[in-house]
Amino acid sequence: MNSFQSSFGKRKQNKLARFAGSVVASLAIAGSVNYANIAKATPTKTFTTNDIASVSVNPTQQQPIVAQLPSSNTQYQAMQMLPGGLIPIIVLGGVIVFVPLFFGGLVVIGEREVGIVVRKFTLSGRGLPAGRLIALNGEAGLQADTLAPGWHWGYWPWQYSVRKESVVVVPQGEIALIVAADGASNPPERILGKIVDCDNFQDARKFLTHGGEKGRQMGFLTAGTYRINTALFKVIMASNASAHGMNPEHLRVYSVSSDKVGIVTTLDGLPIAGGEIAGPTIAGHDNFQNGQKFIDAGGRRGLQEQILLSGSWNLNPWFVQVEQVPMTEIPIGYVGVVISFVGQAQEDVSGAAFTHGNLVNQGHKGVWVEPLYPGKHPLNSRIMKIELVPTTNIVLNWSGRTERHSYDAKLASLTVRSRDGFAFDLEVAQIIHVGALDAPKVISRVGSMQNLVDHVLEPTIGNYFRNSAQNCTVLDFLTARSERQAEAAEYIKVAIRAYDVQAIDTLIGDIQPPATLMQTQTDRKIAEEQRKTYEVQQAAQTQRQQLVRETALADIQQEMVKSEQSVHIADLKAQAQIKQANGEAEGTKLRAMADAEGIRATGNAKAETYRSGVEALGPQGYTAMQLMQIIGDRNVRLIPDILVGGSNGSTNGLVDGLLSLILWNQTAKPGEALPTPLHPQPIVKPQPNGQSTIPPIVVDFTGDK
C-alpha cells in the first residue's frame, strides 16, 4: 500500500494495486492446480491456503520473504514415480506460485498475533519529523498501523519488515499499565498522559492524531485480550512488573476490607488550594477509577476528602495511592464529636446564646453540631478528629484512686486550711454527666474531656473546698461533714452547669486533720470513754450485787420449798408405814389363826389315827409298829459296824477296833463312804481293874438322831 502511495501519491490506487496482485496470484495458483489434476499423475501434495498461512516470517531478517514449500518423503517418492513429462509442469506450477508470494509481498498473521510493520525506505526519501518515533503518513520507520490476523499483500520484503507479536492478555484480577513511546508532550502541571479515544490503546493512529501524550498513561487496561502496537506502547503487567521496577501487587485489582476504609492520595491534578489540607470531593470519576474525569473536573493532587469503601477497585497505582485504616468505632456509652479540618466555610448554628465556640452542620469545617452515636462509621481520619465523650456518669476522684477512664489520673487530694490555722487533706469524689446533645458544646468550649477536667472541674471544686474550710475550724468541719457535703453539691451543680455539664453528686471522702490535734482529741475521747466505762462498770457491780441478793433469796426459797416437801413426804411415808404395819399385823393375826386352826386339825387327825390304830392293834402292837416304822424310815442302826470292847483287863479291844477300821478302809469299794455311827461313840477308857465300860445303846423314838 505504501509503495503504491509513494508511486502515485494516492491511497486508493494502492488498494487497487494490492487487490489486482491478489487476483493474479490466485488465478495462477488455480491454473497450476487444475493442470496438475488433468495430468492425473501420482498424487502429490498441493498447496492450500492453510499451507500458505503457515509460512512464517522472521522479524529480524531483512531478506525477502519467501513461502516455504512443505515436502515429505512420500511426496519425493511420488515425484520419482512421475513420468518424465510431468516434472516440468510441476516446476512451472511452483514458479507460478512462488512469483506471487515473493513479488506480491504476502504476509500471513495468525489469529492471536499482531503484525508490527517497519518501512525501510520510501521512493520520495521523506523521513519522520523531529521528535517523532511512529510514522503516520508513510514515512520510513515504525508504522502506526498494525496488521490484523489474515493475508496481507503488498508488503515486499525488500521494502518492509513485519514483526509478529502475540496479543496482550491481561488476566482476571489484574490491570496493565501503559507507557507511550511517542505522542505530544505532557504539560508541566501533569505527570501522566491524558486518556484519548483510541480503543484501549489498540489504535495507535487515533492515539497520536487525537492528542495522546507520551510517557506514563492515565489510562490502563483491565482484564481482557488486546492487540497493541508494542512499537508505540510498552505494556506493564504483574508478570513483568519486576523488570520495570514495580511491585507485582500494585498491578492487581485493589481490595478494601469490609471493616476498613481507604484513604486516597492522588499523584496528579491541580495543586491543593491554600489553607486546605485535602482536595475536595469530585463527582463522576467512579471512585478514582477514571482518572481523566477526576482531572477534567478540577481534581486536586494530594490527600483527598473522599474515601474508598469496602470492595474491589481498578486503580492506576501511578495515579492513586490508598491507605487502609479501621473504621471509626464509637463504643456503647459514648458519642463521637466530629472536628472536621476540611469542608465548606464555617456557618455557626449554635445560636447567639452560645458564645464560647462555633458549631457547624455536617460537611462544614469545624465542630459538627450532631454527634456520632455508637457504631462503626466510615470516616477519613486524616481530615477529621473524633473526640469521644462519655454519656454515662463519670466519677472523678481527688484522691490516690484513679478510675478506668483516667480523666482523674492527675488529680490528688485537696489540701485546705481551717479558720484556726490547721492544714489538712481532704478527699472528694465528683459525679458528672454530659448529655449526648451537649457533647458538641462541651468540646467546642474546652476542646476535650481531659481539658474539661483539668481546666474547669479541678479549679472549681478545689477552690470551693478551700474557701469553705476557711470559714470553720477543723473540728467543726469534721462534725458538720454532712452539711458541708450538701452545700458543696448544691454549689458545684450550679457552677458547672454553665459549662453544659450536669453535676450528679458531690461526696466528701477521707478527712485527714493534723496529727497533734487529733492526738489531743483522741486522748480526750479516750478519757471520756474511760469515765463512761467506769460508770458502766459501777452500774454493773451494783446490778451484780442485786443479782447475788436475789440469787441467794432464790436459793433459800428453794430450800424452804424442799423442806416443806420433805415434811409432807415424811408424813406420807409415816402414814404409809402405819398402814403397812396395820396390814402386816392383821396378816400375822390371820396367819396365826390359820396355823392354829391347821395344827388343831392336824392334831385331831393324828389323834383320830392313833385312836383307830390302838383300837385295831392294841396299844403295844401299835407302838411296836410305829417304832419299826421310824427305824426303817430313818435308817437307824441297831447293831454297830465296829464294836470295841475289853475283857479281863486286856487292851486288845482298842487295837482290834483300829485294825478293823483299817481293814474296812482297804476292803471298801471306791466311792463308798466310811461307816458313820449314828451317835458319837464314846471313848472306851480302861478301868483300873482292866475292864471297860460300854454305854448302852439309846434308841430315840421321837425321830431325832
How many alpha carbons fall within 13 Å on the CB side of residue 381? 16
**pLDDT for the residue numbered 703:** 43
Q: Which three cell numbers stand for residue 674?
A: 466310811
What HEC string does 174-187 produce?
Answer: ECEEEEECCCECCC
**pLDDT for the residue numbered 603:** 83
CA–CA separation, 315 and 304 (whole Å): 15
Pick from 533, 545, 703, 530: nearest CA to 627: 703
Low-confidence ranges of the chain (pLDDT < 70): 1-85, 95-104, 636-655, 657, 664, 666-705
Pick from 694, 696, 698: nearest CA to 686: 694
Q: Which residues contact 275 (CB under 8 A, 6 or more apart)?
A: none
Question: In angstroms, what CA-CA distances link 500 with 49, 349, 440?
Answer: 91, 17, 10
**pLDDT for the residue numbered 75:** 39
**pLDDT for the residue numbered 61:** 34
Q: Express each pLDDT in 103-125 by its tens digit.
A: 668 889 999 999 999 998 887 77
**pLDDT for the residue numbered 177:** 97
- Helix residue spans in 171-251 (DSSP H): 204-209
CA angle 656, 659, 665 (to 5 degrees): 140
Q: What is the DSSP letter of 457?
A: I
Do 213 and 194 touch, CB atoms closer than 8 A? yes
CA–CA separation, 204 and 210 (whole Å): 10
Do 390 and 449 touch, CB atoms closer than 8 A? yes
**pLDDT for the residue numbered 114:** 95
**pLDDT for the residue numbered 247:** 94
**pLDDT for the residue numbered 673:** 52
**What global pTM score does this model have?**
0.60
CA 612 to chain centre: 131
CA–CA separation, 705 and 703 (whole Å): 7
Sequence-separated contacts (24+) of 470-476 with Cβ below 8 Å: 470/416, 470/417, 470/418, 470/419, 471/419, 472/418, 472/419, 473/418, 473/419, 473/420, 473/422, 474/418, 474/420, 474/422, 474/424, 474/513, 474/514, 474/517, 475/517, 475/521
Do 174 and 190 touch, CB atoms closer than 8 A? no
Question: In angstroms, what CA-CA distances link 147 with 98, 111, 415, 690?
Answer: 22, 11, 94, 199
CA–CA separation, 372 and 381 (whole Å): 14
Q: Which three-class secondary structure state does DSSP give residue 81? A: helix
Pick from 178, 185, 190: nearest CA to 301: 190
- The separation between the first and the last C-alpha atoms of the chain, rounded to the nearest angstrom, is 191
CA–CA separation, 486 and 508 (whole Å): 10
Q: In the β-sheet with 334-340, what is the strand arrangement from edge to edge?
A: 359-360, 366-368, 334-340, 384-390
**pLDDT for the residue numbered 643:** 59
Q: Express each pLDDT in 463-517 by its tens digit.
A: 999 998 888 888 888 888 889 999 999 999 999 999 999 999 999 988 887 777 7
